[in-house]
Amino acid sequence: MNRRPQPTRLRGPVAVRSLAMAALLLVPAAALAQEADVETITQLTRLIRWGGVLTSLGLIVAVWILLKFLDAFVEGLSRRFADRRMTFHKIATFLQFFLYVGTGIATLMLSFRLDNRVLAVVGGTVAVSVGFAVKDLVASFVAGITIMLDRPFQVGDRVSFGGQYGDIRAIGLRSVRMQTLDDNIVTIPNNKFLSDITSCGNYGALDMQVVMDFLIGVDQDVEQAQRIVHEAALSSLYVFLPKPIRVNVANVIEANYVAVRLRLRAYVLDTQYENAFVTDVNLRVLPAFRAAGIQPPAVLHRSLDGTAVEETSA
Protein backbone atom coordinates (compact mmCIF):
# COMPACT_ATOMS: atom_id res chain seq x y z
CA MET A 1 0.00 0.00 0.00
CA ASN A 2 1.17 3.53 -0.78
CA ARG A 3 1.45 5.84 2.21
CA ARG A 4 0.39 9.46 2.01
CA PRO A 5 3.32 11.82 2.36
CA GLN A 6 3.38 13.53 5.73
CA PRO A 7 3.92 17.33 5.91
CA THR A 8 7.29 18.39 7.06
CA ARG A 9 7.22 19.64 10.67
CA LEU A 10 9.77 21.89 12.28
CA ARG A 11 11.63 20.30 15.05
CA GLY A 12 11.81 22.05 18.41
CA PRO A 13 15.23 23.71 18.07
CA VAL A 14 14.49 24.88 14.52
CA ALA A 15 11.17 26.51 15.52
CA VAL A 16 12.80 28.29 18.41
CA ARG A 17 15.54 29.68 16.18
CA SER A 18 12.94 30.93 13.65
CA LEU A 19 10.94 32.75 16.30
CA ALA A 20 14.08 34.32 17.71
CA MET A 21 15.11 35.62 14.28
CA ALA A 22 11.61 37.12 13.72
CA ALA A 23 11.76 38.86 17.09
CA LEU A 24 15.18 40.29 16.28
CA LEU A 25 13.77 41.73 13.05
CA LEU A 26 10.66 43.27 14.66
CA VAL A 27 12.35 44.88 17.68
CA PRO A 28 14.51 47.33 15.67
CA ALA A 29 11.47 48.39 13.60
CA ALA A 30 9.41 49.12 16.73
CA ALA A 31 12.31 50.95 18.29
CA LEU A 32 12.77 53.07 15.18
CA ALA A 33 9.06 53.98 15.13
CA GLN A 34 9.16 54.97 18.79
CA GLU A 35 12.25 57.07 18.24
CA ALA A 36 10.53 58.80 15.30
CA ASP A 37 7.49 59.66 17.47
CA VAL A 38 9.74 61.02 20.22
CA GLU A 39 11.66 63.09 17.68
CA THR A 40 8.44 64.54 16.24
CA ILE A 41 7.17 65.52 19.70
CA THR A 42 10.55 67.07 20.51
CA GLN A 43 10.44 69.14 17.32
CA LEU A 44 6.95 70.32 18.09
CA THR A 45 7.92 71.44 21.61
CA ARG A 46 10.84 73.39 20.16
CA LEU A 47 8.44 75.31 17.94
CA ILE A 48 6.56 76.77 20.91
CA ARG A 49 7.64 80.07 22.41
CA TRP A 50 6.63 79.61 26.01
CA GLY A 51 7.16 83.27 26.84
CA GLY A 52 5.00 84.17 23.86
CA VAL A 53 2.26 81.85 25.08
CA LEU A 54 1.97 83.85 28.30
CA THR A 55 1.92 87.08 26.30
CA SER A 56 -0.79 85.63 24.06
CA LEU A 57 -2.93 84.75 27.07
CA GLY A 58 -2.64 88.32 28.32
CA LEU A 59 -3.55 89.62 24.85
CA ILE A 60 -6.63 87.39 24.69
CA VAL A 61 -7.83 88.60 28.08
CA ALA A 62 -7.28 92.24 27.08
CA VAL A 63 -9.21 91.80 23.82
CA TRP A 64 -12.04 90.03 25.66
CA ILE A 65 -12.35 92.99 28.06
CA LEU A 66 -12.25 95.39 25.11
CA LEU A 67 -15.06 93.51 23.35
CA LYS A 68 -17.22 93.62 26.48
CA PHE A 69 -16.63 97.38 26.76
CA LEU A 70 -17.44 97.79 23.04
CA ASP A 71 -20.74 95.92 23.42
CA ALA A 72 -21.78 98.02 26.42
CA PHE A 73 -20.76 101.25 24.64
CA VAL A 74 -22.72 100.38 21.50
CA GLU A 75 -25.82 99.40 23.49
CA GLY A 76 -25.67 102.72 25.34
CA LEU A 77 -25.40 104.67 22.10
CA SER A 78 -28.23 102.64 20.56
CA ARG A 79 -30.57 103.48 23.40
CA ARG A 80 -29.64 107.16 23.30
CA PHE A 81 -29.77 107.54 19.49
CA ALA A 82 -32.43 105.01 18.46
CA ASP A 83 -32.55 106.20 14.86
CA ARG A 84 -28.83 105.31 14.45
CA ARG A 85 -29.02 101.91 16.16
CA MET A 86 -28.40 99.91 13.00
CA THR A 87 -25.36 102.02 12.08
CA PHE A 88 -23.79 101.54 15.50
CA HIS A 89 -24.31 97.78 15.31
CA LYS A 90 -22.74 97.60 11.84
CA ILE A 91 -19.62 99.45 13.01
CA ALA A 92 -19.36 97.26 16.11
CA THR A 93 -19.65 94.08 14.02
CA PHE A 94 -16.78 95.10 11.73
CA LEU A 95 -14.61 96.09 14.69
CA GLN A 96 -15.28 92.78 16.43
CA PHE A 97 -14.46 90.86 13.25
CA PHE A 98 -11.10 92.58 12.78
CA LEU A 99 -10.28 92.18 16.47
CA TYR A 100 -10.94 88.44 16.23
CA VAL A 101 -8.77 88.02 13.14
CA GLY A 102 -5.98 90.28 14.42
CA THR A 103 -5.89 88.53 17.80
CA GLY A 104 -5.71 85.13 16.14
CA ILE A 105 -2.80 86.14 13.91
CA ALA A 106 -0.95 87.84 16.76
CA THR A 107 -1.41 84.81 19.02
CA LEU A 108 -0.04 82.53 16.32
CA MET A 109 2.99 84.74 15.69
CA LEU A 110 3.78 85.15 19.40
CA SER A 111 3.32 81.51 20.39
CA PHE A 112 5.17 79.70 17.58
CA ARG A 113 8.49 80.04 15.76
CA LEU A 114 7.39 80.17 12.15
CA ASP A 115 10.09 79.30 9.62
CA ASN A 116 10.53 76.88 6.72
CA ARG A 117 11.08 73.96 9.08
CA VAL A 118 7.89 74.77 10.95
CA LEU A 119 5.89 74.99 7.76
CA ALA A 120 7.31 71.63 6.64
CA VAL A 121 6.25 69.99 9.90
CA VAL A 122 2.81 71.63 9.88
CA GLY A 123 2.32 70.63 6.27
CA GLY A 124 2.66 66.95 7.16
CA THR A 125 0.69 64.52 9.24
CA VAL A 126 -0.06 67.05 11.99
CA ALA A 127 -1.80 69.38 9.54
CA VAL A 128 -3.91 66.53 8.16
CA SER A 129 -4.98 65.40 11.63
CA VAL A 130 -5.81 68.91 12.80
CA GLY A 131 -7.60 69.60 9.52
CA PHE A 132 -9.99 66.72 10.04
CA ALA A 133 -10.60 67.81 13.63
CA VAL A 134 -11.42 71.45 12.86
CA LYS A 135 -12.92 71.19 9.37
CA ASP A 136 -16.36 72.30 10.61
CA LEU A 137 -14.79 75.22 12.48
CA VAL A 138 -12.86 76.29 9.38
CA ALA A 139 -16.04 76.01 7.27
CA SER A 140 -17.90 78.26 9.72
CA PHE A 141 -14.99 80.73 9.72
CA VAL A 142 -15.01 80.97 5.90
CA ALA A 143 -18.81 81.30 5.96
CA GLY A 144 -18.49 84.12 8.51
CA ILE A 145 -16.19 86.02 6.15
CA THR A 146 -18.68 85.40 3.32
CA ILE A 147 -21.54 86.77 5.43
CA MET A 148 -19.52 89.88 6.26
CA LEU A 149 -18.76 90.52 2.57
CA ASP A 150 -22.01 89.38 0.94
CA ARG A 151 -24.22 90.75 3.76
CA PRO A 152 -27.46 88.72 3.36
CA PHE A 153 -28.39 90.32 6.68
CA GLN A 154 -26.86 92.68 9.23
CA VAL A 155 -26.75 93.01 12.99
CA GLY A 156 -30.12 94.29 14.16
CA ASP A 157 -32.08 92.85 11.22
CA ARG A 158 -35.21 90.80 11.84
CA VAL A 159 -34.59 87.47 10.14
CA SER A 160 -36.44 84.21 9.61
CA PHE A 161 -34.19 81.16 9.29
CA GLY A 162 -34.70 77.44 9.87
CA GLY A 163 -37.99 77.90 11.69
CA GLN A 164 -36.55 80.63 13.95
CA TYR A 165 -37.62 84.28 13.81
CA GLY A 166 -35.96 87.14 15.59
CA ASP A 167 -33.27 89.84 15.63
CA ILE A 168 -29.63 89.21 14.70
CA ARG A 169 -27.61 90.15 17.77
CA ALA A 170 -24.07 89.20 16.72
CA ILE A 171 -22.19 87.85 13.71
CA GLY A 172 -19.08 86.03 14.90
CA LEU A 173 -16.33 84.02 13.24
CA ARG A 174 -18.05 80.73 14.10
CA SER A 175 -21.75 81.44 14.54
CA VAL A 176 -24.59 83.95 14.40
CA ARG A 177 -26.64 84.72 17.51
CA MET A 178 -30.34 85.45 17.06
CA GLN A 179 -32.72 86.72 19.74
CA THR A 180 -36.25 85.42 19.13
CA LEU A 181 -39.45 87.24 20.02
CA ASP A 182 -39.72 84.90 23.03
CA ASP A 183 -36.42 86.38 24.29
CA ASN A 184 -34.44 83.20 23.59
CA ILE A 185 -30.90 83.33 22.20
CA VAL A 186 -30.42 80.93 19.27
CA THR A 187 -26.88 80.14 18.06
CA ILE A 188 -26.60 79.13 14.39
CA PRO A 189 -23.30 78.00 12.75
CA ASN A 190 -22.26 80.30 9.95
CA ASN A 191 -21.97 77.53 7.34
CA LYS A 192 -25.73 76.86 7.62
CA PHE A 193 -26.45 80.20 5.97
CA LEU A 194 -24.56 79.24 2.80
CA SER A 195 -27.01 76.51 1.78
CA ASP A 196 -30.36 77.43 3.42
CA ILE A 197 -32.81 80.19 2.58
CA THR A 198 -32.80 83.29 4.80
CA SER A 199 -35.61 85.84 4.90
CA CYS A 200 -34.75 89.37 6.11
CA GLY A 201 -37.62 91.70 6.99
CA ASN A 202 -35.90 95.09 7.08
CA TYR A 203 -32.31 94.68 5.73
CA GLY A 204 -30.58 97.43 7.66
CA ALA A 205 -33.58 99.73 8.07
CA LEU A 206 -35.41 100.47 11.30
CA ASP A 207 -38.89 100.18 9.80
CA MET A 208 -40.35 96.87 8.59
CA GLN A 209 -43.55 95.74 6.91
CA VAL A 210 -45.98 93.88 9.20
CA VAL A 211 -48.80 91.72 7.79
CA MET A 212 -52.05 91.17 9.73
CA ASP A 213 -55.10 89.18 8.62
CA PHE A 214 -58.73 89.80 9.64
CA LEU A 215 -61.53 87.40 8.63
CA ILE A 216 -65.18 88.37 8.27
CA GLY A 217 -68.24 86.65 6.84
CA VAL A 218 -68.98 86.79 3.13
CA ASP A 219 -72.33 88.53 3.84
CA GLN A 220 -70.78 91.39 5.84
CA ASP A 221 -70.05 94.98 4.80
CA VAL A 222 -66.57 94.51 3.31
CA GLU A 223 -65.98 98.15 2.43
CA GLN A 224 -66.77 99.33 5.95
CA ALA A 225 -64.52 96.61 7.40
CA GLN A 226 -61.72 97.72 5.07
CA ARG A 227 -62.05 101.33 6.25
CA ILE A 228 -61.98 100.25 9.91
CA VAL A 229 -58.77 98.24 9.43
CA HIS A 230 -57.11 101.07 7.49
CA GLU A 231 -58.01 103.69 10.11
CA ALA A 232 -56.84 101.43 12.95
CA ALA A 233 -53.38 101.11 11.37
CA LEU A 234 -53.25 104.81 10.44
CA SER A 235 -54.00 105.93 14.00
CA SER A 236 -51.56 103.54 15.73
CA LEU A 237 -48.66 105.01 17.68
CA TYR A 238 -46.25 102.52 16.10
CA VAL A 239 -47.04 102.99 12.41
CA PHE A 240 -44.36 104.35 10.05
CA LEU A 241 -46.37 106.94 8.08
CA PRO A 242 -43.87 107.73 5.29
CA LYS A 243 -44.63 104.31 3.77
CA PRO A 244 -48.07 103.27 2.43
CA ILE A 245 -50.79 101.37 4.29
CA ARG A 246 -52.67 98.83 2.18
CA VAL A 247 -55.65 96.59 2.97
CA ASN A 248 -56.09 93.81 0.41
CA VAL A 249 -59.37 91.91 0.15
CA ALA A 250 -59.78 88.29 -0.98
CA ASN A 251 -62.18 85.37 -0.66
CA VAL A 252 -60.57 82.44 1.12
CA ILE A 253 -61.53 79.10 2.65
CA GLU A 254 -60.49 78.99 6.28
CA ALA A 255 -61.22 75.91 8.41
CA ASN A 256 -64.03 74.82 6.01
CA TYR A 257 -65.58 78.30 6.11
CA VAL A 258 -65.82 80.59 3.11
CA ALA A 259 -64.62 83.96 4.40
CA VAL A 260 -63.46 87.38 3.32
CA ARG A 261 -59.86 88.03 4.29
CA LEU A 262 -58.71 91.57 4.93
CA ARG A 263 -54.91 91.56 4.79
CA LEU A 264 -53.33 94.66 6.29
CA ARG A 265 -49.84 95.60 5.10
CA ALA A 266 -48.37 98.44 7.15
CA TYR A 267 -44.89 99.43 8.34
CA VAL A 268 -43.87 99.58 11.97
CA LEU A 269 -41.50 102.44 12.79
CA ASP A 270 -39.01 100.13 14.57
CA THR A 271 -38.69 96.35 14.40
CA GLN A 272 -38.59 96.07 18.18
CA TYR A 273 -42.20 97.34 18.29
CA GLU A 274 -43.60 94.67 15.95
CA ASN A 275 -45.61 92.83 18.63
CA ALA A 276 -46.80 96.09 20.17
CA PHE A 277 -47.98 97.27 16.73
CA VAL A 278 -49.92 94.06 16.07
CA THR A 279 -51.55 94.23 19.50
CA ASP A 280 -52.46 97.91 19.15
CA VAL A 281 -54.11 97.44 15.74
CA ASN A 282 -56.12 94.42 16.91
CA LEU A 283 -57.32 96.27 20.00
CA ARG A 284 -58.63 99.00 17.68
CA VAL A 285 -60.17 96.75 15.01
CA LEU A 286 -62.06 94.21 17.14
CA PRO A 287 -64.19 96.72 19.13
CA ALA A 288 -64.89 98.67 15.92
CA PHE A 289 -66.10 95.47 14.22
CA ARG A 290 -68.46 94.75 17.14
CA ALA A 291 -69.79 98.31 17.12
CA ALA A 292 -70.44 98.14 13.37
CA GLY A 293 -72.08 94.69 13.62
CA ILE A 294 -69.44 93.04 11.41
CA GLN A 295 -69.49 89.32 12.14
CA PRO A 296 -66.82 86.59 11.75
CA PRO A 297 -67.15 83.85 9.09
CA ALA A 298 -70.09 81.43 9.40
CA VAL A 299 -71.70 78.56 7.48
CA LEU A 300 -74.69 79.99 5.62
CA HIS A 301 -77.78 78.12 4.43
CA ARG A 302 -79.54 79.69 1.45
CA SER A 303 -83.29 79.40 1.06
CA LEU A 304 -85.14 79.20 -2.24
CA ASP A 305 -85.81 82.93 -2.27
CA GLY A 306 -82.06 83.65 -2.20
CA THR A 307 -81.83 84.86 1.39
CA ALA A 308 -79.04 83.53 3.59
CA VAL A 309 -79.63 82.16 7.05
CA GLU A 310 -76.69 81.86 9.43
CA GLU A 311 -76.25 78.43 11.02
CA THR A 312 -72.90 78.24 12.79
CA SER A 313 -70.11 80.75 13.31
CA ALA A 314 -66.39 80.18 13.05
pLDDT band at 257 (very low <50, low <70, confident <90, very high): confident
User: Which phi and psi (to 5°) does residue 45 adopt?
Assistant: -65, -30
User: What's at 70, amino acid-wise?
Assistant: L
Domain 208-304 CATH (choose: 3.90.950.20, 1.10.260.40, 3.30.70.100, 3.40.190.170): 3.30.70.100
Residue 24 pLDDT: 47
105 pLDDT higher than 70: yes
Task: For residue 67, give the amino acid letter.
Answer: L
> What beta strand segments (E) does 198-295 contain?
199-200, 208-217, 246-254, 257-268
Q: How far from the centroid of its chain's Cα atoms is residue 183's Cα?
A: 15
Instruction: Tell whether the model's pLDDT for residue 293 goes beyond 60.
Output: yes
Residue 216's DSSP bridge partners are 260
CATH 1.10.287 fits 50-150, yes or no: yes
The tens digit of pLDDT for each residue in 13-67 reads 555 455 555 544 544 545 445 555 566 666 666 677 777 788 888 888 998 898 8
The residues near 273 (Cβ < 8 Å, ≥ 6 apart) are: 238
Query: Looking at residue 123, what is its pLDDT?
Result: 57
pLDDT at 32: 47
Name the more confident of 289 and 143. Answer: 289
- Helix, strand, coil content of the chain in percent (nearest 5): 55, 20, 25
Per-residue pLDDT band at 3 (split at 50, 70, 90): low
Instruction: Specify the pTM.
Output: 0.65
Range in 117-126, 132-141, 217-226 with the lowest mean pLDDT: 117-126
Residues 208-223, mean pLDDT to the nearest whole number: 95
pLDDT confidence of residue 10? 46
pLDDT value of residue 303: 60
Range from 3-7, 100-104, 124-128, 225-229 that averages highest in pLDDT? 225-229
Q: Say how far apart CA 176 and CA 215 lie, in whole Å.
A: 38
Nearest-CA neighbor of 154 among 205, 223, 194, 78? 205
Cα 130 off chain centre by:
25
pLDDT digits (tens, 9 = 90+) for 156-197: 899 999 889 999 988 887 889 999 999 999 999 988 888 888
Domain spanning 158-200 has what CATH number? Answer: 2.30.30.60
Do residues 144 and 190 touch, judged by C-beta distance below 8 A? yes
State the Cα angle at 168 between 95 and 176, rounded to 5°. 70
Domain boundaries, the chain: 50-150, 158-200, 208-304
**Per-residue DSSP letters for 56-81?**
HHHHHHHHHHHHHHHHHHHHHHHHHS
